[in-house]
Amino acid sequence: MGESKPLFRDLTAEDPDPETTEIESLCMNCGDNGTTRLLLTRIPFFKEVVLMSFDCPHCDFKNNEIQPGGRIEEKGVRIKLKVETQKDLNRNVVKSDFTAIKIPELDFEIPSQSQKGEVTTVEGVLDRIVRGLSQDQETRRKEHAEAAAQIDAFIDKVTNLKQLESPFTMV
């Protein structure tokens, strides 16, 4: 009989067999069946988590999220990053449901519990901000032109951060 492996294993690039579980599940976008992949893992210096990825071959809907795999700690950790180079934009960000993200230079905050947890990069966080703000902009331009113009200007500021026109801080 083979050696038993722990339920939650360390997330490392050297793991040749990360033991994902695939299950057929309902697509909430089109109603057909897609595939959900689950990976129980331990992220070093973070905690045990369940990484979930859904893909629908019928409508191309995709969803990725991270859920706690163990108890939630009473106190969190505050990390402050000065983003100055392309390498900084590529830094990994492990965001739980309870994470708040701030960009002081833009007076911008993603409040805790407003988004699902995810594993992304600094650039991925900026992309998600742009996607979220861009939703319904066409309708907004017709119905609330002034508000839409302000949102477009803010989207430009976030896009400029991605271009590293000036350093910024992510907390």
Task: Assess contact for 53 and 36: CB atoms under 8 A.
Answer: yes
pLDDT, position 8: 61
pLDDT tens-place string over residues 20-45 = 889 999 999 999 999 999 888 887 66
Distance CA 63, CA 55 (A): 7
What pTM was estimated for this model as a whole? Answer: 0.68
Domains in the chain, please, with CATH?
Answer: 1-71 (2.20.25.420), 73-171 (2.60.120.1040)
